[in-house]
Amino acid sequence: MKVKIKVWRQKNRNSNGSFVTYDSPDLNPNMSFLEMLDVVNEGLAVKGDEPIAFDHDCREGICGTCSLVIDGKPHGPHKGVATCQTYMRSFKEGDLITVEPFRATPFPLVKDLVVDRKSFDRIQQAGGFISVRTGSAPDANAVPVPKENADLAMDAAQCIGCGACVAACKNASAMLFVSAKVSHLGLLPQGQPERHRRVKAMVDQMDAEGFGGCTVTGSCEAVCPKEISLDFIARMNRDYAMSLLKGDPKGIAGGGA
């Protein structure tokens, strides 16, 4: 099969970008979308043209490195998968496929389809952890956790930190990402001591990074490759309200060294 791809090309953050359309060589429908880009890039390189820059690593849907908005949808046409798990058999012969980066102010563009998502790391650094020094943990079975809680925490913890939720949201809100992190730890007994300072610190950092508010359109849930539920946002809002009632935590979480 052959397709055309209309790709966003932009040399760097400070230059203007534009769409450029390329014809693909002959493709195998069992190729992944990224393998299709590999093949297109190999053709560009051999011609002396600059290959299309795109982010990728594990290519099995777990590292969260790949991004891409494909025909207007982050991670492409299918539900519950990342771009790297999207296969060319999902497209038809002769399709014109539009490929763009994840667009959001807190994700500044690096080149072509690559954006910088360090803002997610900074949210985590503000409070996305349980403060437990290495060596100070009790026996793992000392604190039983109801299976339902452990399973729900795992549902939230599956988030791969890709940023598709932000790219899909008209407000560039990071609420689904942050709520997944807050809920994962907040659902476990180990996470209780820091529960309220955690949510406060993470939401404050999220706001400081310039992510927008949530207006509950649900577009984030619809594109999430791990199908993280919107319910976690409600859970985070409750925790956040509680943290406001309890007052400002003293400084950001941390300690240790």
Partner 1 sequence: MATLNSNIPTGPLAGKWNSHKFSSKLINPANKRKYKVIVVGAGLAGASASATLAELGYEVENFVFHDSPRRAHSIAAQGGINASKNYQNDGDSVHRLFYDTIKGGDYRSREANVHRLAEVSVNIIDQCTAQGVPFAREYGGLLDNRSFGGAQVSRTFYARGQTGQQLLLGAYSALSRMIGNGGVKSHTHAEMLDLVVVNGHAKGIIVRDLQTGEITRHVADAVVLATGGYGNVFNLSTYARGSNTTAIWRAYKRGACFANPCYTQIHPTCIPVSGDYQSKLTLMSESLRNDGRIWVPKRKEDCGKAPADIPEEQRDYFLERMYGAFGNLAPRDVSSRAAKYVCDEGRGIGPTGLGVYLDFSDAIGRLGESKIRERYGNLFAIYHEITAEDAYKTPMRIFPAVHYTMGGLWVDYNLMSNVPGLFVLGEANFSDHGANRLGASALMQGLADGYFVLPSTIATYLATVKPGSRPKVDQAEFKEAEESVRAMTRHFLGSKGKRTPSSFHKELGKIMWEYCGMARNKAGLEKAIQLISALREEYRTNLMVSGAENEWNQSLEVAGRVADFIELGELMCRDALMREESCGGHFREEYQYTGADPEVQQGLVNSGDVKRRDDQFAFVAAWEHAGAGKAPVLNREPLVYEEVKMSTRSYK
Q: Tell which positions 7-66 bind partner 1, by CB under 8 A.
A: 11-12, 27-28, 30-32, 34-35, 38-39, 42, 44-46, 48-51, 53, 55-65
**Least distance from C-beta 215 to partner 1, angstroms?**
27
Q: Would you give the DSSP letter of residue 254?
A: -
Instruction: List binders of partner 1 among 105-124 (CB under 8 A).
Output: 110-111, 114, 116-118, 120-121, 124
Q: How far apart are CA 139 and CA 157, in angstroms?
A: 22
Q: Does residue 164 belong to the site contacting partner 1 (CB under 8 A)?
A: no
For 95-128, letters b (16+ CB in 10 Å) and e give: eebbbbbbebebbebebbbbbebebbeebebbbb
Largest CA distance in the chain: 63
**Least distance from C-beta 25 to partner 1, angstroms?**
10
Q: Does residue 139 belong to the site contacting partner 1 (CB under 8 A)?
A: yes
Q: Please, which residue, 109 or 172, has the CB nearer to partner 1?
A: 109
Q: How far apart are CA 116 and CA 170, in angstroms?
A: 19
Q: Residue 37: how many CA atoms within 13 Å on its side-chain side?
A: 28
**Least distance from C-beta 5 to partner 1, angstroms?**
16
Q: Please, which residue, 56 or 173, has the CB nearer to partner 1?
A: 56
